[in-house]
Amino acid sequence: MRTRHQSKKTWTPAVGMIDISNHRFSFSLANEKFGLRIFLAVITSLFLLLMISYQIRMKLSDWDSLPFPGLLWINTAVLILSCIGFQWAKIAANQNNITRVKITLLGGGLFTWLFLFGQMLVWKQLNNMGFYLQTNPANSFFYLMTALHGLHLLGGLIVWCKTSIQLFRDKKIGDLSLSIELLTIYWHFLLAVWLVMFTMMQLK
Amino acid sequence: MAHVPYQEALPLHEPKSFWTRYVWSQDHKVIAIQYTLTAVAVGLVALVMSWLMRLQIGFPGSFSFIDPSTYYQLVTMHGMIMVIYLLTAIFLGGFGNFLIPLMVGARDMVFPFVNMLSYWAYLLSVLVLMASFFVPGGPTGAGWTLYPPQAILPGTPGSDSGIVLMLVSLILFIVAATMGGLNYVTTVIQARTYGMTMMRLPLSVWGIFMATILALLAFPALFVGGVMMLFDRLLGSSFFMPAVVSMGKMLDYQGGSPVLFQHIFWFFGHPEVYIVALPAFGIVSDIISTHARKNIFGYRIMVWAIVSIGVLSFIVWAHHMYVSGMNPYFGFFFAITTLIIAVPTAIKVYNWVLTLWQGNIHMTVPMLFAVAFVSTFTIGGITGLFLGNVVIDLPLSDTYFVVAHFHMVMGVSPILVVFGGIYHWFPKITGRMLNDTLGQIHFWLTFLGTYAIYFPMHYLGFIGMPRRYYAYEGYQFIPESAQDLNVFITISALMVGAAQFIFLYNLAWSAFKGKPAGSNPWNATTLEWQTPDTPPSHGNWGDRLPIVYRWAYDYSVPGAEKDFIPQNQPPAGENPGGAATT
């Protein structure tokens, strides 16, 4: 109430009643965590628009859905494993258990590389089966969406590399627990994006 | 949680050398200047292009190097540069960077390194765009909306490499805008100083803040559209490309939807109008209040108008597509939302006028530009109501009426605010005043000149003169007298363009030789005028962050000693820097 008076007319009697603590509308978040959330909103907008375009394009007559190689299910499992790794690393970082952080963080990252490798294998399989990018809009969307998703993971892996190098060099967790937490949030988010896209692409 | 002490305790990156201070700088003020100078430089290129276009229309065939292809390239690049690389960059990257930390009482943006990257990505995007002038085939001539299929088909100028460079440049720009935007939003939410509640923020910050949110959510649409079109152009997919016979040859494309691109493009394109307009709204509010020595009328409703315009701007996009064909109910829906968005906009115009009402108006150069904005924006807004209605839009679509409308509302109006803002804040940026006489000359030439350019265009549009034509000779439905108007418009455009060089001269001269400004030449209340140093030093505030006790508009307060009370001035009975005693 007091700040409300201030924003109206400062010459009203409320002039002396000042709230300088400024906690309204402020979040008790680290800047990086807040910034990451905004970034996730941007990525959500990106993939949402892509998926809406997919739905619209799908309704046109020349749409011909892709066969989904079984490898995609394995890739999905691998991505889930990488997320488990990151989640585990986050918990271990909170407990200050550096050995476990090292193992789980490394595991999370390696499973992600494996996921990306698997996605490229899927591309190769589809190519071998004759489902080229330009053959059908369903194919084009598949390649585009998996590529964009993979690029986002690749961006995350750069931060993962930086964090891992620091962890192995400094041999202490300290400030890195924030980085690990941010990585975990980012990975969970990209897993969610993948699951939604993957489900959508199963629609005929 | 006491959040400000946390922000205050964060380390500040001290520049160590000339390079890190002025080139690879992480200081928001330097980055703001870098953004502004780059935007102005690329804007000059677009200005010269508009001259060439107008010369072709006013005096057809006088220049042998302007053939129809060149003309389309000029139109396209002029539009794209002005909207994206000048206005968006200067409002968010220039004003946003300079004003946000100073106005909210922060030492810098919260992610200075990302902020620096943002500028360099922007510069790269500009360089890629400029490179398209030097590739075989030249820049794209697809129109700034880049509609497929023609944008990537042979026959359209620049369909070899120009369009590819344009799309790559846009993608880079979006990356830059996202990195900048993350900073602006996070800084406004997280790094406000003691006492700076959201409802004490100056309206400039509100405008830039909301515009940034729009940019963060709308630019991904352009990104998606751009990437998909790149796929179509380079990899042969058919997202947007239908089966086409081009130059007598059947192409491999099939089944794509050009209208899908239009939806994606305008889902970005309409918020883009407000990405440019909302910062202008905010800056004008601050300039008018300061130079009329009166508190802004209806601060709260001004804030809510900014917010509601931002939200509504996402559900009006298809009013750009009435002639593309759509379900009549869609047309009805988008016409209604378009008219609704006029309500908060009109509230803002009323409030600016009511702020001026009985104010102690100082007709300084920034104030002249601000008042001129209210005039041009009202004219441009009213023609927007015409075009927002389907039945009126259909006959006026693709005529000079549309050209007049969008130039008034999102060309002239925001650029007047850019000028007003620069005249207003130049003393804080450099410590020197801009020359007033040159400023007056610049203002009157620009203001009257832009009316001379765009007002007649409304009439040309009414008599049916189509836009985007290379020449207007031999069309039965266009009276010959229209050409006289075209000549008049061209001469006006040349004069207005020339007037901008007076401004540039003024900037360069005053930066070194201008009258010293002191720390607060306009007797303004907002925090940026209360810095211990002018220009503000790295870190802005010396040892302690300022403490804010009041809103940003305490002008002519009854009984007060002076006609303005700075935001950080404690009320009577309060110890500066101490906790409230009452």
Judging contacts by C-beta atoms under 8 Å, the chain A residues touching residue B560 are 11
Instruction: Please give the pLDDT value at position A174.
Output: 81
B203-230 and B258-291 helices, crossing angle to 10°: 160
CA distance A80 to chain B (A): 26
Residues in Cβ contact with A151 at an 8 Å cutoff, skipping those fewer than 6 apart: none
Selected residues 31-90 of chain A with any CB under 8 Å from a CB in chain B:
31-32, 34-35, 38-39, 41-43, 45-46, 49-50, 53, 56-57, 60-63
Judging contacts by C-beta atoms under 8 Å, the chain B residues touching residue A27 are 3, 189-190
Judging contacts by C-beta atoms under 8 Å, the chain A residues touching residue B546 are none
B267 inside 8 A of chain A by CB:
yes
Selected residues 14-73 of chain B with any CB under 8 Å from a CB in chain A:
none
Collapsing DSSP states into helix, strand and coil, what is residue B555? Answer: strand
Q: Do B186 and A35 touch (CB under 8 A)?
A: yes
Cα three-residue angle A61-A62-A66, rounded to 5 degrees: 120
Instruction: Please give the pLDDT value at position B574.
Output: 58
**Positions of chain A with pLDDT under 50:** 1-18
Complex ipTM, two decimals?
A: 0.91
State the DSSP H helix or E strand holding residue B245, giving kind and residue range, or none if neither.
strand B245-246
Q: Does domain B25-243+252-530 have CATH number 3.40.50.720?
A: no
Instruction: Please give the pLDDT value at position A18.
Output: 47
Instruction: Please give the pLDDT value at position A22.
Output: 52
Q: Do A26 and B192 touch (CB under 8 A)?
A: yes
Instruction: Please give the pLDDT value at position B576.
Output: 53
Alpha-carbon torsion (A65, A71, A77, A81), positive or negative: negative
Residue type, B88: T
Provide the whole-model pTM. 0.94
Q: Do A31 and B110 touch (CB under 8 A)?
A: yes
Judging contacts by C-beta atoms under 8 Å, the chain B residues touching residue A144 are 227-228, 231, 237
Collapsing DSSP states into helix, strand and coil, what is residue B564? Answer: strand
Residue of B10, B109, B190 to mutate when probing chain A, most A C-beta within 10 A: B190
Print burial letters for B244-279: b (CB count within 10 Å at least 16), e (below 16): beeeeeebebebbbbbbbbbbbbbbbbbbbbbbbbb
Q: Do A39 and B182 touch (CB under 8 A)?
A: yes
Q: Pick from A19, A27, A137: which is nearest to B256 by CB? A: A137
Residues in Cβ contact with B480 at an 8 Å cutoff, skipping those fewer than 6 apart: none
Residues in Cβ contact with B150 at an 8 Å cutoff, skipping those fewer than 6 apart: B142, B156
Q: Do A31 and B186 touch (CB under 8 A)?
A: yes
Q: Walk me through the domains of chain A, giving residue ranges and CATH numbers.
A: 1-35 (no CATH), 44-202 (1.20.120.80)
Residue of B nearest to A4 (CA): B199
Q: Pick from A25, A28, A41: which is nearest to B198 by CB? A: A25
Q: Pick from B3, B224, B548: which is nearest to A53 by CB? A: B224
B563 inside 8 A of chain A by CB:
no
Q: Do B571 and A16 touch (CB under 8 A)?
A: yes
Q: Which tokens sit at B436? A: 């007033």
* CA atoms in the 13 A half-sphere facing the CB of A24: 13
Instruction: Please give the pLDDT value at position A67.
Output: 86
- Which class for A74: exposed (0-12), middle (13-18), buried (19 or more C-beta within 10 A)? middle
Judging contacts by C-beta atoms under 8 Å, the chain A residues touching residue B257 are 56-57, 60
Instruction: Please give the pLDDT value at position B203.
Output: 97
* CA atoms in the 13 A half-sphere facing the CB of B67: 5
Instruction: Please give the pLDDT value at position B298.
Output: 93
Q: Are A37 and A181 in contact (CB under 8 A)?
A: no
Judging contacts by C-beta atoms under 8 Å, the chain B residues touching residue A43 are 220
Tens-binned pLDDT, residue by residue, of chain B (582 aa): 347 777 777 777 777 788 888 889 999 999 999 999 999 999 999 999 999 999 999 999 888 999 999 999 999 999 999 999 999 999 999 999 999 999 999 999 999 999 999 999 999 999 999 999 999 999 999 999 999 999 999 889 999 999 999 999 999 999 999 999 999 999 999 999 988 888 899 999 999 999 999 999 999 999 999 999 999 999 999 999 999 998 889 998 988 899 999 999 999 999 999 999 999 999 999 999 999 999 999 999 999 999 999 999 999 999 999 999 888 899 999 999 999 999 999 999 999 999 999 999 999 999 999 999 999 999 999 999 999 999 999 999 999 999 999 999 999 999 999 999 999 999 999 999 999 999 999 999 999 999 999 999 999 999 999 999 998 888 888 988 899 999 999 999 999 999 999 999 999 999 999 999 999 999 999 999 999 999 999 999 988 899 998 899 999 988 888 899 999 988 776 555 444 433
CA distance A42 to chain B (A): 6
